Copies of this chain bind each other. A is one copy, B any other.
Amino acid sequence: MHELYFQKFNEKVRLTETEQERIKTYLTYKKLRRKQYLLQEGDVCKFIAFVEKGALRAYSVDDSSAEHIIQFGLEGWTISDLYSFLTGEPATYNIDALEDSELVLISKSAHEELLLTMPKYETFTRLNITGAYLAMQRRLTSIIGSSVEERYQDFIALYPHIAQRVPQHMIASYMGLTPETLSRIRKRISTNK
């Protein structure tokens, strides 16, 4: 039920059986059907979600009601509107399930208590956010400095599992492109080699 969560935890910070049991008391488990929302824009984000199984996306909706995917969350990844979670402000992102999914949730009070009382949890949290920061910086660098072709190829190389499971128009959205443009770029890439 929390296998993957603790596997990932132990890869970063080694836990004893007892510590693991203790952390379990702070976690809740949630199943989500495809298309169900974990979070809707405007609500306060009450959890950080760890994806045990399935796939989710976080996205914002602009004035012309176009969706912009800011993040995918597949097995082993964490997904949340962190700003809303930390500040208690209304969320600016929506999060919903792309497939039937199973999540490990941690509430704000649980998160805060673990941070204060369990150094290993703080270390785990620090390493997670550091990884997320580095991943996002890579993405930003490639948006600012590379051609769309390169960016798409980098994306495929880096996240082949996402490319396989997620419809192409969502990858376009993640890249800040229209579906038509991405389709043409794929064509250009495949004919030019």
Residues of chain A touching chain B, judged by Cβ–Cβ distance below 8 Å, are 60, 62, 66, 68, 70, 82-83, 86, 92, 119, 122-123, 125-126, 129-130, 132-134, 136-141, 143-146, 176
Contact = CB atoms under 8 A, between A and B. Distances in A.
Contacts of A126: 122, 125-126, 129
B62 A146 contact: yes
Given A62-B145, A122-B122, A129 B140 contact: no
A92 B141 contact: yes
Nearest to A137: B136
Copies in the complex: 2
14 contacts: A62-B146, A68-B141, A68-B145, A82-B130, A82-B134, A86-B130, A119-B122, A129-B129, A129-B130, A133-B133, A136-B136, A140-B143, A143-B143, A143-B176
A155 to B, nearest CB: 14
B137 A83 contact: yes
A64 B168 CA distance: 30
Contacts of A125: 126
Given A66-B145, A70-B140, 16 more contacts: A62-B146, A68-B144, A70-B141, A82-B130, A82-B133, A83-B134, A83-B137, A122-B122, A126-B129, A129-B130, A129-B133, A133-B133, A133-B136, A136-B140, A140-B140, A143-B176
